[in-house]
A = this chain, B = another copy of it.
Amino acid sequence: MEGSPMERMKRTTLVHPLPQSSSSSPAPASLHASDQTKPACPLRPSMTLQGELVAQIPGLAEVLKGGSWTQPTCLCCSSNNVEPLVLVQLADRIDPVTKKWIISRLEAPMKEGGAALLVHSGEDDGGNVLVLSAPRCTQLRVTEDLGMWKPYMDGNMVAFSYDDRKSFSNVDDMQVFLTLAERQYVVKYQLDSLRAKKDRTIPGVPESRGVLFARESIFQKLEKVGVVKAVIALHDQRRLGDLAKAWYSGGQLLGQPLDSIQAYFGTSVAFYFSFLDFYTWALVPPAVLGVVLTLFPVGSGVTHNAAAQEPDEDEPGIPVSGLVLQAMFSMLWSTVFMEAWKRRTAVLSYRWGTLQPTERYAEPRPGYKGPMGRNPVTGRPEPCFPDWEHKLRVGISVPVVAFFLGLVALGMTMFYYFEAVARHFHEDGGTWLSVPLLYLPSVAHILYTNVLGTLYGNVALGLTEWENHRDESSFQNHHTTKVLLFNFFNCFAVLFHIAFIRQDLALLRKRLASLLIVTQLLNQCTEVVVPFLVDRIFSDGTKKPKEDDPEEDRLRAQGRLPPFPGLFPEYIELLVQYGYLSLFSCVYPLTAVLLLINNITEIRTDAFKICRLFRKPCSAPVSNMGVWQPAFEVLGFVSVISNCWLLLLSPGVRRFCQEGGFSSRNALLFAVLVEHVLILGKMILAFVIPDEPGWISLKKQELEFRSMQAFNQQLQQ
């Protein structure tokens, strides 16, 4: 989960104008050939980048040419080629004492409470940049801590064990063993895990600005007091170029290089693109059905036509059975789609080594607060916050969120009320002076919605922080859920109002069509045209690109880019789309076709965006797309209710009832019956389709069995 746009406020990954890159490592394919990363001459202290690499990255070269890398203490970590992974941007006028202290904390071994990283302090001691890398030992230890699965020598994926590192494939070559995203996350994890041993002041920072309490996250504190301005994962231009080529600029229309995406951007981004891919393919059957229903409006099509004009008595067909068939198809499709995606998720997370992340046994997230204690499971010292208080706080959040959703509903009601008042006033005795009055409710509503949205964004973030989640994924899920509910409610309140309160299907269809088309156009604008123009402007902005140094030029352009806004906007766009499709599909059968066209371009534009328009995201390995999965599933259930209701309102069904002599009460009863049967069918189907393929269950069982046996044997020792 990259999180919501509000994430930006939390993570102080502010843009650093200095161009950086890390093409020190060749592309994965050529990694085996270059064995220079192996400890050719152990304990050799001159840890500078190779000449050719420095020449290749002028911006970084400047930063790195002054100082030198930390010398690792152990043999295995020595290497004459240190890969710069993460850049820490310090305050402009940092006290050298503070910088020295930070470096000492970063370099200190884990036993002494340090981060055990490799640090390059930049041009000189007064510089405001630190470049970080992680030695092999740290990489491997964190890999075990995170519960990552890696290929064992027998070819299976097994949870990585530091003690048994020799039995894993490629463990000698960290460039192959871990992906770039993983290596960078290791550094980030170590930064986050860096905690004060006891209450103390930060050297060079006056006590008035902040005291480090025991076990407080050092880097979070440093960011709070303004010493650290940003922590930035470095891009690798050569790999990025290869990825971009394989992804969107290579001219291929089908398929995405998912494994390369995972290697470069990490699992959370890879899961988003996998889902987008999967979802787009899944849109084909409903799109075909939509086209068929539109071209041959016999049967189910009746509703569509009948509502646009006045009901036409000549029209033939069996509308009710056709519509029920469509509702059935929609139910089946959404269930099978989500279940199939769950299975795909299991396969992908096995392949990417994140099948069973052990986050709860790893370090708590830096924002986790509480009196010092010991983790009851692992026995490690960490903040311990009472579980009941955490749950109480989560409970208290619920009415707060509900209150804001109530405010959205209130705003909508007020808008409709004042719009009616204004119209009446104008019609009754208004002059040209009262014309602006007609627009006043709309303007007020837009303002109200925006103010409310901003306010809610802050409240949601604050509440989630206050809930004090131990695990990052838990924090993300709670925060995403809060923002998601609000956004979704905001998007669909009007449509639900039209469908359920006004019961005006024609208006609903018009609104839906315009929303879909406007969304498409907006998407194309914001996601294709604007980026394209931005790209052009960038190319022209620095005048002509110098023929001899295109790399520096690109880096400078990259410096101007905004930080990655997280995947929330991408996911919510898909969810809203899916909402249009599933909730109101029987009103506007062409929805799926429009969405299919949209998504095919969406894949490329999103790829372009993440590669070129933002800085590199760096997030924890995840095993699925988090709270978005239940969100899509819940929508599936709501859609059954919604479709049954729309069926009931559809003119075709109404006419059928009139002709058949059914009372409206009996029609309603029938609709309720159909709804219950469909929901029951959906639940049974979801229960019957296993959430993971058999072979993955077997792998898990095997691991459980072997762990059990190992545990029994260990007890004995």
Give me the interface of A with B, judged by CB distance under 8 Å: 144, 147, 158-159, 161-164, 167, 358, 360-361, 376-378, 387, 641, 664-665, 668-669, 672, 676, 694, 698, 701-708, 710-716
Contact = CB atoms under 8 A, between A and B. Distances in A.
A627 to B, nearest CB: 14
Nearest to A702: B377
Given A665-B665, A676-B641, A712-B144, A705 B361 contact: yes
A707 B705 contact: no
A159 B664 contact: no
B161 A711 contact: yes
Contacts of A694: 387
Nearest to A676: B641
A520 to B, nearest CB: 33
A713 B378 contact: no
B698 A376 contact: yes
Central interface residue in A358, A705, A708, A716, by most chain B CB within 10 Å:
A708
Contact of A163 (B162, B167, B701, B713): B713
Nearest to A361: B705
A384 to B, nearest CB: 12
Contacts of A704: 707
A716 B358 contact: no
B711 A707 contact: yes
Given A377-B701, A641-B676, A672-B672, A162 B706 contact: no
Contact of A711 (B167, B378, B706): B706
B360 A163 contact: no
A700 to B, nearest CB: 9
15 contacts: A147-B708, A161-B713, A161-B715, A161-B716, A163-B715, A164-B712, A164-B715, A167-B715, A358-B708, A361-B701, A377-B698, A665-B668, A707-B710, A710-B713, A711-B711
A710 B713 CA distance: 8
Contacts of A672: 668, 672
Contacts of A641: 676
A489 to B, nearest CB: 15
Nearest to A161: B712
Contacts of A698: 376-377
A176 B383 CA distance: 41
Say how many copies of this protein the assembly contains: 2
Given A387-B694, A672-B672, A377 B705 contact: yes
Contacts of A387: 694
Contacts of A669: 668
B668 A360 contact: no
A688 to B, nearest CB: 8
A634 to B, nearest CB: 10
A710 B698 CA distance: 20
A147 B672 CA distance: 47
Contacts of A358: 705, 708
Nearest to A376: B698
A531 B358 CA distance: 56
Nearest to A679: B679
A360 B704 CA distance: 11
A144 B147 CA distance: 27
Nearest to A694: B387
Given A377-B701, A668-B672, A707-B708, 17 more contacts: A159-B708, A159-B712, A163-B713, A163-B715, A163-B716, A164-B712, A164-B715, A358-B705, A360-B701, A361-B701, A377-B705, A387-B694, A668-B668, A706-B711, A707-B707, A707-B711, A711-B711
Best-buried of A144, A694, A714 by chain B (most CB within 10 Å): A714
Contact of A714 (B702, B703, B710): B710
A326 B158 CA distance: 54
A-B interface, 3 closest residue pairs, ranked by CB to CB distance from nearest: A161-B712, A164-B715, A710-B714
Contacts of A715: 158, 161, 163-164, 167
Given A378-B705, A702-B376, A714 B713 contact: yes
B712 A711 contact: no
Contacts of A702: 376-377
A710 B706 CA distance: 10
A288 to B, nearest CB: 28
Nearest to A358: B708
A334 to B, nearest CB: 18
Contacts of A378: 705
A714 B714 contact: yes
A189 to B, nearest CB: 18
A8 to B, nearest CB: 31
Nearest to A167: B715
A324 B361 CA distance: 46
A664 B669 CA distance: 11
Given A694-B387, A708-B358, A164 B376 contact: no
A701 B360 CA distance: 9
Nearest to A164: B715
Contacts of A708: 147, 159, 358, 361, 707
Nearest to A394: B688
A642 to B, nearest CB: 12
A551 B129 CA distance: 91
A145 B394 CA distance: 41
A712 B377 contact: no
A54 to B, nearest CB: 39
A158 B711 CA distance: 11
A459 to B, nearest CB: 22
A377 B162 CA distance: 24
A53 B144 CA distance: 59
A153 B686 CA distance: 44
Contacts of A716: 161, 163-164
A158 B360 CA distance: 21
Nearest to A163: B716
A705 B671 CA distance: 50
A162 B711 CA distance: 11
Contacts of A144: 712
A664 B167 CA distance: 73
Nearest to A144: B712
A10 B672 CA distance: 43
Nearest to A147: B708
Contacts of A714: 710, 713-714
Contacts of A162: 712
A451 to B, nearest CB: 30
A147 B701 CA distance: 14
A162 B709 CA distance: 11
Contacts of A161: 711-713, 715-716
